[in-house]
Amino acid sequence: MDLTLKRFDLRNLGSWAGDAVLPVGIMILVAMMVLPLPVFLLDTFFVFNILLSLLILMVAMHTYRPVDFSSFPNLLLIATVLRLALNVASTRIILTSGHTGEDAAGKVIRSFGDFVIAGNFTVGIFVFVILVIINLMVITKGAGRVSEVSARFTLDAMPGKQMAIDADLNAGILSPEEATLRRSEVGTEADFYGSMDGASKFVKGDAVAGLLILAINIIGGLIIGAAQHDMTIADAAQTYVLLAIGDGLVAQIPSLLLSIATAIIVTRVSSTQNMAEHIGRQVNLSRAWVPVAVVMAIIGVIPGMPNLMFLTFAAMSAGAAFYARQAEDAALEDDANSDDGATTIEKAEPQSIELADVTDYSAVSLQLGYGLISMVDADQGGPLVTRITGIRREVSRALGFVVPGVRIRDDLALGPNAYRIRVGQTIVGEDEVYPDRKLALAGARSNIALDGIEVKDPSFGMDAIWIRPHQQAEAEANDYVVI
């Protein structure tokens, strides 16, 4: 008993801790914007920010369908707020403690600044601006446009998808549980693309904020260093530009990774493969690699070109074409073997039954007993098919849409003169009919009972009698309506 209670308490504690992670994390992000942050924690959060961005990018690349990563807009918002909170915290440290040296804002910012600047402040600023332009003008702008169009088309197609699900449900193709799941997927897809249309604005705003923060750090650092700490302009520039570029790069690289992840998600086509397999399978065509190898080889023999490099890539392209051709031949052999295997199985098991053999997906169907088959046999003058076509034409003209075709088939489970009408898988009518007899309906003055099979008229529910053809004159003389 004590062991069970202890296990129950541990499970509750783990569940409570998991539920509390996100709210506590959001509160920490807000606190980072207003409270001073130690340098060690600043480095830790910068490294965690890069880790989170890489994780989101890898998950986006290995997602089969965009809606499989439906939490992406939420993660994008959290990652953007984290990055902006780090920018605020690092800006506070740079402006307040930057005069103490290049290590004032931590090792991560200094390392990124040293790596990119390499002793030339102008080069560092230009590299940072180029990264922002790539992020803002190319990736983010394209992803935002794709998100907008996808959201619009997804919402426009939603009623049609719902109607298609209802049609499949009525036809018996889908069970009620499957139809409910499909409707949920359609709703989730619409919500996802609607969220992505707004989430792409986070990335765009983050890129603009990066430029403004860089300018604030440089201009503010120069003013504070020269006015408050008696630093020369050269010394202030050396310190504050290094810290500003490092801070901007530490923020822009994760931002660039998230922009790529956003573009991958919104341009992803649903398939049963991840992105690498999807692209690799479609690009691996020998017909495409052979011309590439030829063109690269031609460029490689032109005088003045880097011949060795072009010829090397030509050889690599030729190798890719060779392996692609082998893969295509292997796929053809596998298809041939599978076809042969299917033929062998079919010959070995001629009585095997597939699901398609016993499932009727027709919208309207008419099942006949074996005694009524002559009514649809054109060689025997069966009028049933022609009459059904005429009725469909009249009903379609009256209702304003084309009534689906009627599938007619025999059913040995029915009586010889029985028939059954189905709409989808629902039986809407069934009765018996005698093609060698006529149906007599009694009138108001009919007072003689005829010899025949007494039934109910299937159209109006009136008493009727199936009589022989030679009884028609007698029936009409006694006020019977003969059909």
Please indicate whether residue 155 or residue 431 has the higher confidence score (pLDDT): 431
Structure tokens given for 376: 């649809």
pLDDT in tens, 203-251: 777 777 877 888 888 888 888 888 887 788 877 877 787 788 888 888 8
Q: What is the pLDDT of residues 73-89, one digit of tens each?
A: 888 888 888 888 888 88
Tokens of 211: 């430029």
CA atoms within 13 A on the CB side of 385: 12
CB of 130 closer than 8 Å to CB of 136 = no
Residues 6+ apart with CB under 8 A from 453: 434, 437, 465, 466
What are 252-269's pLDDT values in tens digits?
888 888 888 888 887 776
With CA atoms as reference, report the closest residue to 139 among 265, 262, 275, 269. Answer: 262
Domains of the chain, residue spans: 27-269, 361-435, 436-482
**May I ask the CATH class of domain 361-435?**
alpha beta
Band of residue 291 on the pLDDT scale cut at 50, 70, 90: confident
> CA–CA separation, 246 vs 334, rounded Å?
55
Cross-strand partners of 409: 367
Give every strand in the sheet of 426-432, ordered side by side: 406-410, 364-368, 418-423, 426-432
Answer whether residue 357 shows pLDDT above 80: no
Mean pLDDT value across residues 428-455 = 79
- Averaged over 44-69, what is the pLDDT? 84
Q: Positive or negative, the Cα torsion across 20, 22, 25, 27?
A: negative
Convert the pLDDT of each residue in 240-252 to its tens digit: 877 888 888 888 8
